[in-house]
Amino acid sequence: MKNFTSVHDVKNPDKLIREAISLKKNPWKNVALGKNKTLGLIFLNPSLRTRLSSQKAGQLLGMNVIVMNMDKEGWALEWIDGAVMNTNKTEHIKDAAMVLSKYCDIIGMRAFPTLTDREADYSEHVMKQLVKYATVPVVSLESATLHPLQSLADSMCMYEKWHKNKKPKVVLTWAPHVKALPQAVANSFSEWMQAIPVDFVITHPKGYELSSTFTKGVKIENDQAKALKGADFVYVKNWSAYEPYGQMPTVEKDWLLSAKKMETTNNAYIMHCLPVRRNVEVPDELLDGKRSLISLQAENRLYAATAVFKKILEKSKD
Ligand code: CP
């Protein structure tokens, strides 16, 4: 694996998921692998799980870890090639990536979308510019349109919890929120669910269609009650509209999940990537209930990151 920016960078997602799970048995087993190697983690946006799990993952592999909150501590970056840099942008990504590549053996970057310029966000020009100018492998810590480390951790949960000899029904349901959020988690989850053996359904109100780039061939059901019937896993997530981009079209019906709504599921597990607005996106009764996987998802972020960095350090062809 050279870079990790989407499921398409992974030759065999099934194998990676199983390897990530197997790391849990002995987390420090590979501590010699990253000796004298440096992991650089660049954040242009806030984080709790991604920042700490990636940092700890580096430590589990024996790496030195450097973390920089680029948005607060670094120079404002110019991303556009050929730009006349006479605005507030002080350093070009071409130069920043060159410098980071001198100091680091792997670079991770988190860069959220603008949610105002769809063309720019969906071209992934920010992540692509880092990949273009870095001379070391790049790992997405969540980009404008995707969050592959989260989806890898989520997929691990399904493998760990599902032992029946049939595919589980996995439902991604849109949830209400107070502010416009990126589509990255939902897009990425959709990509990964198409790469593993599950029956996948997305349910959302009309107006919240995701980009077909990530949902082509996926069953979409606008009736949440219908979608939930017989579900084995219910993944709850808010996202803003793709069209009109970054907006929050009014929703008439009640899309907040409840224990009552869950009664038609197959005693489904509840998933959310966190952070979650309790009782806005998901009620306490579900987040704190016996079928909640939020703690396992957060735990698995550690092993997802470790598995990815390990593959890169090993220069694995997978
Ligand atoms: N789920 C997730 O990526 O959490 P953070 O934004 O806190 O990293």
Instruction: Report the pLDDT value the prediction gives residue 95, as an integer from 0 to 100.
Output: 98
Whether 150-297 and 7-146+301-316 are alike in CATH topology: the answer is: yes
- Is the Cβ atom of 150 under 6 angstroms away from ligand 1? yes
Q: Specify the DSSP class assigned to residue 87.
A: S
Give the predicted TM-score (pTM) of the model. 0.98
Quick: pLDDT tens for 134-184.
999 999 999 999 999 999 999 999 999 999 999 999 999 999 999 999 999
For residue 214, the CA-to-ligand 1 centroid distance in Å is: 21
Domain ranges for the chain, please list them: 7-146+301-316, 150-297
The two tokens of residue 299 are 């735990």
Tell whether the torsion through CA atoms of 80, 86, 87 and 89 is positive or negative.
positive
CA distance 193 to 101: 33
Beta-carbon neighbour count of residue 303 at 10 Å? 24
Look at residues 92, 112, 96, 113 and name the one whose alpha carbon lies nearest to residue 104.
96
For residue 49, the CA-to-ligand 1 centroid distance in Å is: 5
For residue 1, the CA-to-ligand 1 centroid distance in Å is: 23
Instruction: Report the pLDDT value the prediction gives residue 317, as an integer from 0 to 100.
Output: 75
For the domain made up of 7-146+301-316, give the CATH fold.
Answer: Rossmann fold (3.40.50)
- Is the Cβ atom of 50 under 6 angstroms away from ligand 1? yes
Q: How deeply is 1 buried, as exposed, middle or buried, from its count of CB atoms within 10 A (0-12, 13-18, 19+)?
A: buried
| CB of 63 closer than 8 Å to CB of 38 | yes
Q: Which CATH class is domain 150-297?
A: alpha beta
Whose Cα sits closest to atom 4 in ligand 1? Answer: 49
Instruction: Report the pLDDT value the prediction gives residue 286, as an integer from 0 to 100.
Output: 98
Instruction: Report the pLDDT value the prediction gives residue 60, as an integer from 0 to 100.
Output: 98
What residue ranges of the chain have pLDDT lower than 70?
Answer: none
Instruction: Report the pLDDT value the prediction gives residue 316, as an integer from 0 to 100.
Output: 79
